[in-house]
Amino acid sequence: MYRSHNCGELRASHSNTEVTLSGWVQGVRDKGFMIYIDLRDRYGITQLYFDEERTPKAIMEKASKLGREFVIQVKGNVTERASKNPNIPTGDIEVVVSELTILNSSLVPPFTIEDKTDGGDDLRMKYRYIDIRRNPVKNSLIFRSKVTQAVRNYLSNDGFIEVETPYLIKSTPEGARDFVVPSRMNEGQFYALPQSPQTFKQLLMVGGMDKYFQIVKCFRDEDLRADRQPEFTQIDCEMAFVEQEDILNVFEGLTRHLLKEVNGVEIEKFPRMLYDDAMRLYGNDKPDIRFGMEFGELNAVTQHKDFGVFNNAELVVGIAVPGGNSYTRKEIDKLIDWVKRPQVGALGMIYSRCNDDGSFKSSVDKFYDQDDLAKWAEVTGAKPGDLVCVLSGETNKVRAQLSALRMELATRLGLRDPKVFAPLWVIDFPLLELDEETGHYHAMHHPFTSPKPGQLELLDTNPGDVKANAYDLVLNGNEIGGGSIRIHDKATQAIMLKHLGFSDEDARAQFGFLMDAFEYGAPPHGGLAFGLDRLVAILGGQETIRDFIAFPKNNSGRDVMIDAPAPIDDEQLKELSLKLNLKS
């Protein structure tokens, strides 16, 4: 038996108890005639005590040679500490050591195993197995486990069946590049790793499984934006004989359960917002509604003067920044520089100060009088003491730019409290998106999403106006889940694929198995997939997913710990009938 108790377990009530502990040496304080060692495992820290009077000389010598992260086993007696430590649960006791065994020595770790470490991101990723010993990472992984178990319990209690689907599948167009896997037994042919189990969960509905879920890895070979991973985890769910309202109710219930079970927060209201309203009021389809600063469209009150910047713009739009009139001119200039960054892309920013006396002072006073600026304040909801920030340009671009500014200002103003949770359903997305480069439409979600009832005929006349029977669940400005009611009959699926540019032959080659299945009594069905990594991070009060993943990859998609991806040798290439054609 390596231990009778863990390092976070002992209390004053255990005094005069003989115990056995095992763990890592967190730190050593050698006073010469006595030695203190902090012993750590994942449960906590216990102080060990050695002194010349009670500890055999050989054990004292061995203890004096211990280094950080040595793995040791000790036996000893629990004693109440004379100088207690209120900062740790075991701070009332220490173990007077009578036996010491070194189970394994350790090199000096490349960074300190502390909550606030001296190790940079790259270094900690290279030695991730050491980084996991730190409380922030350890606790994040334990928290993820708690969320995952709560999900499984809720769905299982609601009649969902957990079914595993294959990882080695066929490449299908779902919006991102597939990771492909060569087949040795089928020369010249390849599997693909699933971007999601979409078609398989639909086939399970055809198979009568009725309520399916799976906590599953998904893979996308795409350029990694900030805080993305090439492999990620979904809570993938599907239900048969349901309409949109049924699905929203079930997964609203799951989210409410998680917030209460994991965070102790009760939320009853899950507001719903049309996609068009989300874009008009917030500039994106995943608005953070923990704070206001809704957009005010200003075309009608700005495009009547000789200010060409506004007159020539497709959209003039502004937000009211609460208390923003206190900003100095230098601070406002920095905001203007911020929106001009390439990541945002605005050409500039116009502003209007809302003074406490009801007057206004703007950067375009030459063109707009007090009555004009009062209308700006009215449209944006600005009050005395606020600052109105205005951008203009092409509608979609300027909305995205102002959305970025809104989030930046909210962060600076402390309006994005991670302990406050504001869920939101966004519904009625467009079914199709126009690719401006090619002039062709593609599915906004995926090719199996059904149009809203009664809108199928619009595909022939006004495809851009067709709404999808789709929905996203947003939490604190992050999309944590999304799904749709699926197409469940072959004829409608064929129409959809035709409008996405698939020939009959291409449709048969890509999705013949699914369309064949639809001819054998496919029920109406729909579902939703949560992004588990993102959901866990937000529930944990963070927006960075990496510390909630045991072994993440960096922004280049590399695992710097195991040095992957890596070349394979010529013999493997030959066996797989592959030949490299690398650019020098």
Q: Mark the binding-site residues, compressed into ranges.
A: 174, 220-222, 229, 445, 479, 486, 531-534
Q: Which helix (H) or strand (E) holds 454?
A: none
Q: Which residues are annotated as a binding site for ATP?
A: 220-222, 229, 479, 531-534
Number of H helices, E strands in the chain: 17, 22
Six token digits for residue 176: 């991102």
CB 452 within 8 A of CB 428: yes
DSSP secondary structure of 471-499:
EEEEETTEEEEEEEEBP-SHHHHHHHHHH
DSSP, collapsed to helix, strand or coil, labels residue 297 as strand
Q: Tell me the residue ranges of DSSP E strands in 220-345.
A: 231-240, 272-274, 296-297, 315-321
DSSP secondary structure of 391-415:
EEESHHHHHHHHHHHHHHHHHHTT-
Phi, psi dihedral angles at 357 (to 5 degrees): -85, 5
Give dist(CA 214, CA 197) in Å, integer: 9
Residues contacting residue 462 through CB under 8 Å, at least 6 positions apart: none
User: CA angle, 487 as apex, 455 and 252 as ends, to 5°?
Assistant: 90
Supply the DSSP symbol for 306: S
Q: Which residues are annotated as a binding site for L-aspartate?
A: 174, 220, 445, 486
Going from the C-alpha of 29 to that of each of 66, 116, 575, the distances in angstroms are 10, 20, 58
DSSP, collapsed to helix, strand or coil, labels residue 535 as helix
Beta bridge partners of 25: 39
Phi, psi dihedral angles at 204 (to 5 degrees): -65, -35
